[in-house]
Every structure is written in structure tokens, then in C-alpha cells.
Amino acid sequence: MTSLQEPAKHLKAKGMKPGGRRPAKELCSECGLCDTYYIHYVKEACAFLNQQIAELEAEAHGRRRNLDNWDDVYFGVHQDMMQAKKKQPIEGAQWTGIVSTIAIEMLNRGLVEGVVCVQNSKEDRFQPQPVIARTPEEILAAKVNKPTLSPNLSILEQIQQSNLKKLLVIGVGCQIQALRAVEKELGLEKLYVLGTPCVDNVTRAGLQKFLETTSKSPDTVVYYEFMQDFRVHFKHEDGSVETVPFFGLNTKELKNIFAPSCLSCFDYVNSLADLVVGYMGATFGWQWIVVRNETGQFMLDLVRDQLDTQPVIAQGNRKQAVQQSIPAYDKEVTLPMWAAKLMGVVIDKIGPRGLEYARFSIDSHFTRNYLYVKRNHPEKLDAHVPDFAKKIVEQYHLPNS
């Protein structure tokens, strides 16, 4: 890569047009980098062409994960973790709106001049529309997940064009990996990165299939989440909540909807963000906060007085459930709804909670994804799967082929 003193070679490159086949081919997660002249760096920067989480962790956080520490192995480099929720939740946010609140606070205090986030198109509440928000209203218009692949980095050229020097980027793991790889080329004085975990993302068409296969009223869904009570919660336009147990999902129909990028992703916990806000390491109703470095601590402190917090907990043992899920997924097992509901209730009572639930989710996805890469891209397996993920997968017995 160039240093800032050298002429920026990327300025001569040209972003690709929408719809063209990207360098990572079917593994492309449409992170948006290739829509811009930063495509110049794609071979090094793309999360699916050059997995380099450990090197980028050292640059962003001052150290790599300690592979002898299981909390580091699972949750990445961190200096603090907690459960939190807003004392006054933002209506219509994905959870309680901690992400939007931090972004608004940073803008209002003049710490940043813009916030990269993703709104939705006028026609479709789930069609992502990345923007650089310059007002609190524009940040609020980006609240709630767009549960589809989103080209957040497609706005990168606007940073230089608008002469922005202090920026907050909100994004998921694959977007943040590419962002960190080109960070030095953006001409910024300060970059803040606020991440969310991410898993099992889909194209817009895949989302439609998921909604139609799983919800009783796909057209009125405004929000959904795979919750810690082992049910998918769909919120509808009229405020009603529909729940469907995980174990009752139509695995056969749904197996092919997840994007190949997400089936080969091992950065569930957004390793390279300064601060991560999710839910899976928290108990029901709470959000999960992972502070990775001093910048993340600074960002969290800005909103601390607006939050209730409590320590993280871990209860139960996930191992057997994960081991059983491996052949069940392969055999496309779908339980009848009564059995799925019963199993959901039992697991909710005695199953993993808090950080153990997060480990359950990480283990189930990493074992599935490891098998996906091994079967579909064997030549990439060794370099693409990070060492921490290999260590997690090694705990389980996987089929040989």
C-alpha cells in the first residue's frame, strides 16, 4: 500500500458498476469497497480474498488475540464487557438504540463531522441505502437492522470529496475488515469504528424467501431478530410480535438463502471495531457491549449516564447442543412445530445463557461455516479460517466430507 506522503495511486482507479461480478466472486459480501476507487486495494483489503484479522487487530488494538485465553478466542481483543440497555430506549431501534445514541452524541459534541450508517430506500424498508449522516435526524433514519448485505463502504469516495477529517463508521465485520485495511488511505485525522456482530445475512431476494417461509405475514414485518430464547421474533407494523422457534425453521428451504460470504465468515464478533454493540452475550432484553480499546471506552463513556448496566454472566453448557446441531443441519432436519415449541421451551429453561449462549451461537456457525469452506473452497480453507476459529472448531467432531 502507499503511504500518505506518496501520490495516492487509488485516485486513478475506478469503482465497479452495480451488478458486475466482484473480485471475490460468489464470496463477495457486497461491502461496497469495489464500488469506489479503493478497489485499487481489493486484493489486500477484501475480507474474503485476504483474511488478515490478527494483523489488523494488532494495528487497531495494539495486540492480537491471546489464543491461550478462551474469552479472547471467542470474543476478540477486549478490555471490558458488560450488559447494557438504554434507560429511555429509542422507539423503533433494533434493541434499545445504543448504537444510534452513541453516534448522535459524537456528532452533537463535534467529535465527528459525519457518521457512515445505512438507511433504507423510500420504496422498501429492507433495501439498504448507505449514507454519511451529518445530522441526528439522518442518524435516527438509519436505526434498526437492514438484514441484508449492505454496501456501506460505497460512500468512501465521499470522504475525500467532502474533505471530512473526523468520521464515525458503523458497520458489520466484513465491512470493517476492508475499512481497516484502507484506513490509512482515507486522509482522516481520526476514525472511530462502532461495530455490531453479524451472521447469516442474505440478499434482498433471500430475505423475501426467509420472510415468506417463516412468518405468517411477511409483508408487515418491520423488524426481526434471532433471540436468546431460541425463537425468531418478528415485529409487525401493528406492533404485534410473532415468535417462531429456531428448531421449527424449515431448514431444507432456508439452507440456500444465506449469502455464500456469510457461510464462509468467521468474524461474527466484529474483531476490528473499537466498540461492539450486540445482544448475544447478554440475557434477554439486554444488549451486549464489548470494549476493544481506549477509543471504544471513550465512545462508551459518552453515553454511560444514559445506560443501565450490569455484569455479563455465563450459565449452562452448550457443547452437546452444538455437537447435535452439526449432523442435524447436514441432514436438513425440521421438527414438527409442536416438538419445536416444546424443545424451545425446554432449552430456554435449562440451556446456555449470557456468554455461554454467545459461545453456542459462535460454535454452531463456525462449525457449519468451516464445513462450507472445506466443501466448497478447499483451496482457501487454511488461509481463510483464522487461528481462533480453528481452535473453536477443533472442539467438535465434524464429518470427514
User: Out of ligand FAD, ligand SF4, none, which partner does residue 198 contact, by CB within 5 to 8 A per kind?
Assistant: ligand FAD
> Binder to ligand FAD among 15, 76, 114, 147 (CB under 6 A)?
147
Q: What are phi and psi of 283, to 5 degrees?
A: -85, 165
Pairing outcome for strands 307-310 and 314-315 = unpaired
Taking the complex as a whole, the smallest distance from the CB of residue 333 to ligand SF4 amounts, in Å, to 32
Instruction: With beta carbons less than 8 A apart as the criterion, state whether 201 and 174 touch.
Output: no
Q: What is the Cα–Cα distance from 39 to 22, expressed in whole angstroms? A: 10
Q: What is the Cα–Cα distance from 354 to 279, expressed in whole angstroms? A: 9
Count Cβ atoms below 10 Å from residue 204 Cβ, excluding itself.
14
Tell which positions 160-199 bind ligand SF4, by CB under 6 A.
Answer: 174, 178
What track of x and - describes contact with ligand FAD for positions 351 through 380 (by CB under 6 A)?
Answer: ------------------------------
Q: Give the DSSP letter of residue 36.
A: S
Contact flag: residue 90 with ligand SF4 (CB under 6 A): no
* From 18-26, 132-140, 275-283, 318-326, span contacting ligand SF4 (CB under 6 A): 18-26
Instruction: With beta carbons less than 8 A apart as the criterion, state whether 79 and 107 touch.
Output: no
Which C-beta is closer to ligand SF4: that of 31 or that of 77?
Answer: 31
Contact flag: residue 393 with ligand SF4 (CB under 6 A): no
Contact flag: residue 169 with ligand FAD (CB under 6 A): no
Contact flag: residue 29 with ligand SF4 (CB under 6 A): yes
Taking the complex as a whole, the smallest distance from the CB of residue 173 to ligand SF4 amounts, in Å, to 11
Contact flag: residue 104 with ligand FAD (CB under 6 A): no
SS (H, E, C) 111-133: CCCEEEEEEECCCCCCCEEEEEE
Interface residues toward ligand SF4, by CB under 6 A: 22-24, 28-31, 33-34, 42, 46, 48, 174, 178
